[in-house]
């Protein structure tokens, strides 16, 4: 399948931006059906603080405060609120807090999923139901 660069209009700043063939291929690959709505600059701005629509309420694994994340948290994977995430990313591996042990809680994958969620609208992960093969007679 061939893709060509496409000009889209950003819903935030109203400027035209290029939805490149490579990005279209990426979206096609991920089966995202919606074209991006914002230019890269606005996407970056949006990731920097303003609220997003598709967010999930959850509790921060470190401080326990309620927070919202722009992706669907995976069972068993810790979720950090924005401030804890920033702290964790900036801080040296030496634990600052004694109350909670977070040494293994933040994996690179968690950071990646944040970035990916900022790039595109989240999609539901497919749940594969195991087929029941019962030999009833």
Residue 103 near residue 61 (C-beta atoms within 8 A): no
Query: Minimum CB separation from Zn ion for residue 87, in Å?
Result: 8
Which helix or strand (DSSP H or E) is residue 30 part of?
Answer: helix 21-30
Pair of tokens at residue 18: 């290029």
Pair of tokens at residue 8: 């889209």
* Residue 69 or 84 having the CB closest to Zn ion: 84
Query: Minimum CB separation from Zn ion for residue 122, in Å?
Result: 20
Query: Minimum CB separation from Zn ion for residue 116, in Å?
Result: 20
* Residue 5 or 16 having the CB closest to Zn ion: 16
* Residue 45 or 72 having the CB closest to Zn ion: 45
Binding site for Zn ion (CB under 5 A): 10, 12-13, 39, 42, 60, 62-63, 81, 84
* Residue 13 or 54 having the CB closest to Zn ion: 13
Query: Minimum CB separation from Zn ion for residue 41, in Å?
Result: 5
Q: How far is CA 54 from CA 89, 94, 102, 109, 131, in A?
A: 24, 34, 27, 20, 32
Q: How far is CA 27 from CA 31, 113, 121, in A?
A: 6, 15, 10
């Amino acid at each position: 399948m061939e893709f060509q660069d496409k000009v889209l209009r950003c819903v935030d700043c109203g400027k035209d931006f290029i939805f490149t063939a490579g990005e279209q291929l990426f979206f096609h690959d991920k089966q995202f059906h919606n074209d991006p709505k914002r230019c890269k600059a606005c996407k970056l701005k949006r990731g920097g603080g303003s609220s997003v629509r598709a967010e999930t309420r959850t509790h921060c694994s470190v401080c326990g405060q309620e927070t919202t994340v722009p992706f669907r948290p995976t069972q068993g994977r810790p979720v950090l609120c924005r401030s804890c995430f920033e702290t964790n990313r900036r801080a040296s591996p030496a634990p600052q807090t004694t109350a909670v042990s977070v040494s293994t809680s933040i994996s690179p994958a968690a950071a990646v999923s944040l970035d990916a969620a900022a790039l595109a609208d989240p999609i539901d992960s497919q749940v594969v139901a195991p087929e029941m093969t019962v030999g009833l007679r």
